[in-house]
Amino acid sequence: MTAYIIRRLLLTAPVVVLLSVIIFVVLYVMPGDVALAVLGQFASPAELAAMREKLGLDRPAVVQYLSWAGKIFKGDFGTSFFYGEGVPVLQTILQRLPVSLQLGASAIVLGIALGLPLGIIAALRRNSLIDLGVTSFAVSGLAMPSFWMAILLILLFAVRLDWLPPSGFVPFAEDPIGNLRHLALPAFVLGVDIAAVVARLVRSEMLEVLGQDYVRTARSKGLREHVVVLRHVLRNALIPVVTLLGLLAGRLVSGSVIIETIFALPGVGQLTVSSLFNRDLPLVQATLFLITMGVVFGNLLVDLAYGYLDPRIRHA
Amino acid sequence: MHSQETAVAASATVPQKNALIAGLRRYSRSPTGLAGASLVLLVFLAAILAPWLAPWDQREVDLLNVLGSPSRAHLLGTDELGRDVLSRVIHGARPALIVSLSAVALAMLIGVPLGMAAGYFRGKVDTVIGRVVDAFLAFPTLILALAVNAMLGAGLVTTIVSLGVASWPGFSRLVRGQTLSLRERDWVTAARALGSNSPRILFLHIAPNLVSVIIVVSSINLAGYILAEAGLSFLGLGVPPPAVSWGRMLRTGYPFLESSFWPAVVPGMAIFITVLGFNLLGDGLRDFLDPRLRQK
């Protein structure tokens, strides 16, 4: 297992370097003057030149990249153009991170709590009305744009019934009930998307495993059905679901960018969108780098868990 | 001589034609696939026939009929500028399909050759391509597309390029896996033994066997692009006016939700139907093209 972990870490290192290059290229080679975005259209040419020099934009691209990459690997992402003079970008992101983490964790818990039993029941009652219902839910959940579902839920629960707030956020420490009420709709929207993916995968994996010889053997030994399902079927069917959790990280980040914007949640997703609109380069670079790092290391953890659960993987 | 050639050509086309009819018949037996194909066909027809199908000019502003409820004149009501929602939804099918079809073509153009090269040559080529793929896969598609569109400026071409560039690694990884398996098959070994060079093997012996899996994944990816384009437009970074975008319609209709729900709800329904159609089509094609599933 140690050799497997070292091998996976060695494979991740060049990916991290490549990611930093891609982010730099996407943001620096693009047209548009960052100095102009900072100072506004009424700035004089002298002011613009001074700002370019201050930001280091007059240096060759390679020098700029090496300087930026050197700093970020030390944890220095620079200071934001718009969030106060001298405020480190990392501080701004870390302030927003708990909101996104709470939203993401709630969505994952909800998604698994909903998707897992639905997938299992659908597989065990194949071709029944329940199966049809679960499959229809999964297909519809995957096809429904999250922002549309959010709008429909706001219309019903906030506008018509007045049960939940349409937007905004209250920290858990300040008002636990208010916090949960504000997160209910956004977490549900993201959770349904995850539940649809999980239910679909669990159903198909369960069906695959149910047809295996060792399940027939377990049944022929006279084991009770729930023992067969829990001990032999579910355990094997869940291994691919672990991989799915890694893939869901990216889906969740994309979803939260839109959902945080609709529900006015002060998270990293909303910060990413506003920094892109403001052309706040240090903040854009930092959010992109940290989001992708989150996905890379999330996938790495999933790979390691997968290797632990399935010995065939680490010996491959 | 001429009649002989005609006879040979005829004998070759008859079985092909029969196989095509048999294939279509088999596909039409799948309710999922049939439902998906019907929905996709509906959206394509709306896009192609938009000028004739739309009852009103999609850009015609009528400030005396702002946020008008659905009526006989405006079946799905009017938006905040008095424009006919039905006509705008029909016209919105065009940019949605143009963006998604072009983005899938671009993603294939980059991802398929790189995946084939990685899977066929393995070794250093595979390692280098694999790391680049891993790096791009770390970007959630919407995030990378957002960044590119924000930096380059939103537009039809930018949206196509950003979605294509953000999603090619998926194609590359899939094709690599298939190529790794195909290169060990007997007919490839035989071709190599007969002296065929690598490009010849890749194009004549491996590529044709990748077609079915690429078709299935393309169909499912098309659904993803429709959602992503709508998401970009919803955030104000997708296809700009005067083109009609379902995502932008949703965004502009959203503030009036309390008094008039139709300007926001109707375009959402159009996105849902289109994505559902492509997903079901993909499922149907997978069942149809995957012999393992067909035997089951």
For residue A157, is it within any domain?
yes
- What is the band of B118 on the pLDDT scale with cuts at 50, 70, 90? very high
- pLDDT of res. A265: 93
Residues A195 and A288 in one domain: yes
Residue A148 or residue B21, greater confidence: A148
Q: Taking each helix axis as running N to C, give the angle between helix A239-262 and helix A146-153, from 0 to 180 degrees, rounded to the nearest 10.
A: 60
- Nearest-CA residue of chain A relative to B143? A254
Is the bond preceding residue B242 a cis peptide, omega within 30 degrees? yes
| A39 touching chain B per CB within 8 A | no
Given 1.10.3720.10, 3.40.50.2000, 3.30.70.270, 1.20.1540.10, which CATH number is that of B51-278? 1.10.3720.10
State yes or no: pLDDT of B116 exceeds 70. Answer: yes
Considering the entire predicted model, what is its pTM? 0.86
List the single residue in A142, A145, A253 with the smallest CB-CB distance to B268: A145
- What is the band of B231 on the pLDDT scale with cuts at 50, 70, 90? very high
DSSP secondary structure, A137-149, as one string? HHHHHHHS-HHHH
- What's the CA gap between B64 and A135, in Å, rounded? 46
Residues above pLDDT 70, as percent of chain B: 92
| Contact (CB<8Å) B258/A159 | yes
State yes or no: pLDDT of B2 exceeds 50. Answer: no
Residues A28 and A173 in one domain: no
| A11 touching chain B per CB within 8 A | yes
Question: How large is the ipTM?
Answer: 0.84
- What is the band of B5 on the pLDDT scale with cuts at 50, 70, 90? very low
| Contact (CB<8Å) A151/B264 | yes
Which of A100, A136, A151 to probe by mutation at the B interface, max B CB count within 10 Å? A151
Contact at 8 Å (CB) between B44 and B22?
no
Range with lowest mean pLDDT among A77-91, B41-55, B70-84? A77-91
Residues A152 and A114 in one domain: yes
- Strand, coil or helix: A223: coil
For residue A257, is it within any domain?
yes
Question: What's the Cα-to-Cα distance from B156 to each of A231, B88, B228, rounded to whole Å?
Answer: 52, 17, 13
| Structure confidence by residue, pLDDT tens digits, B133-178 | 988 888 888 888 988 888 888 889 999 999 999 889 989 988 998 8
Each residue's pLDDT, cut to its tens digit, for chain A (316 residues) gives: 788 788 878 888 888 888 888 888 877 766 666 777 677 777 788 888 887 777 777 788 888 888 888 888 888 888 887 776 678 889 999 999 999 999 999 999 999 999 989 998 998 888 889 999 999 999 999 899 999 999 999 989 998 899 999 888 999 899 999 999 999 999 999 999 999 999 988 888 888 888 888 888 888 888 888 888 887 788 777 777 777 777 777 788 888 899 999 999 999 999 999 888 887 888 888 998 988 888 888 878 877 877 777 766 665 5
Contact at 8 Å (CB) between A169 and A266?
yes
- What is the band of B275 on the pLDDT scale with cuts at 50, 70, 90? very high
Contact at 8 Å (CB) between B90 and B54?
yes
- pLDDT of res. A153: 93
State yes or no: pLDDT of B3 exceeds 70. Answer: no
Contact at 8 Å (CB) between B170 and A251?
no
Question: Which residue, chain included where needed, has tokens 């369960």?
Answer: A206
- What's the CA gap between B134 and B173, in Å, rounded? 9
- pLDDT of res. A313: 61
- What's the CA gap between B173 and A124, in Å, rounded? 33
- What is the band of B292 on the pLDDT scale with cuts at 50, 70, 90? low
Taking the CA of residue A126 and the nearest CA in chain B, the distance in Å comes to: 14
For residue A83, is it within any domain?
no
Residue length, chain A?
316
- Nearest-CA residue of chain B relative to A162? B258
Range with lowest mean pLDDT among B73-77, B97-101, B228-232? B73-77
- pLDDT of res. A31: 62
Query: Which ranges of B55-155 does DSSP label H, i.e. alpha helix?
Result: 85-121, 123-137, 141-152
Question: What's the Cα-to-Cα distance from A189 to each of A69, A107, A193, A202, B242, rounded to whole Å?
Answer: 37, 8, 7, 20, 31
Residue A79 or residue B102, greater confidence: B102
- Strand, coil or helix: A174: coil
On chain B, the residues whose CB falls within 8 A of the CB of A200 are: none
Question: What CATH number is attached to the domain comprising A217?
Answer: 1.10.3720.10
For residue A82, is it within any domain?
no
- pLDDT of res. B195: 84
- What's the CA gap between B133 and A115, in Å, rounded? 30
| A151 touching chain B per CB within 8 A | yes
Which of A23, A40, A72 represents a domain boundary (last residue)? A72
Residues A152 and A300 in one domain: yes
- Comparing CA positions, the residue from B96, B117, B99 lying closest to residue B107 is B99
- What is the band of B45 on the pLDDT scale with cuts at 50, 70, 90? very high
- Find residue A79's DSSP bridge partners: A88
| Domain enclosing residue A203, as ranges | 94-314
| Contact (CB<8Å) A254/B230 | no
What is the domain count for chain A?
Answer: 2
Residues A142 and A271 in one domain: yes
- pLDDT of res. B194: 87
For residue A237, is it within any domain?
yes
State yes or no: pLDDT of B213 exceeds 80. Answer: yes
Residue B274 or residue B13, greater confidence: B274
| Contact (CB<8Å) A159/B257 | yes
List the single residue in B146, B254, B279 with the smallest CB-CB distance to A142: B279
| Structure confidence by residue, pLDDT tens digits, B191-211 | 888 888 888 888 888 888 888
- pLDDT of res. B89: 95
| A22 touching chain B per CB within 8 A | yes
Taking the CA of residue B146 and the nearest CA in chain A, the distance in Å comes to: 8
| Contact (CB<8Å) A257/B250 | no
- What is the band of B290 on the pLDDT scale with cuts at 50, 70, 90? low
